[in-house]
Amino acid sequence: MTRTGWITTVAATVAALIVGFGAGWFAHGTTMGPPVAEPEPTEQQTPQPTPTFEPVTVDLDETHEFGDGFTIGLSDFRREVEEGGVDPVTGEEEDLPYVSWRVEVSNESTDPVQTGALTRTCEVGDPPRESGAPALGSDVKPPESLEPGQSGSWDEDCWAEEDDTRLQYTVEFHDQDFVPLYPPVTFAGEVD
């Protein structure tokens, strides 16, 4: 093929592609039907507002009842030392004191209660400062849910020096979309 033949072939191919794509886009716009009206949202499709709850504060030794038969309480407070632990602030290896306890939940309602999705924080000292949770207990995973009449528990802990006698533990239960199910509950008081 001659040089003129190559140039003619390339030019014809490019022109065919341009015309083909252009016609395709043009035809795409003209073959679409009239705009379809959006259906009115049904009650099921309407987004639900996120519930807002007032936080609740109770003593460390109290059991809190959420009002529907679901209860939460703390027990078995102990001071312990993690030998050879890594200090979360300095990163140095040393013996680290902490406070541990058991969280107990119970469902005395007639419906299942979701308990596995939760947020929790721990603060120690006076004034309170946030503390890390080493998760050193033997059973640190909350139950996923509680059927009517069922109860469950898990271990919690947080770093606390011997002179940190004030403890605040806050827990909030959520659904799978992280929407709060109950008000956040803060357990606050003195530990020996």
Model pLDDT, residue 46: 56
Q: Measure the CA–CA gap between 35 and 136, rounded to whole angstroms.
A: 60
CATH number 3.40.50.11290 is the correct assignment for the domain at 56-190:
no
Model pLDDT, residue 52: 75
Model pLDDT, residue 178: 87
Q: With 0-12 CB in 10 A as exposed, 13-18 as middle and 19+ as buried, what is 58? A: middle
In this structure, the chain runs to a length of: 192
Instruction: Go through 13-27 and write b for each residue having 16 or more CB atoms within 10 A of its CB, e for each that does not.
Output: eeeeeeeeeeeeeee
Domain ranges (residues) in the chain: 1-36, 56-190
Those residues of the chain that have pLDDT short of 70 are: 1-51, 89
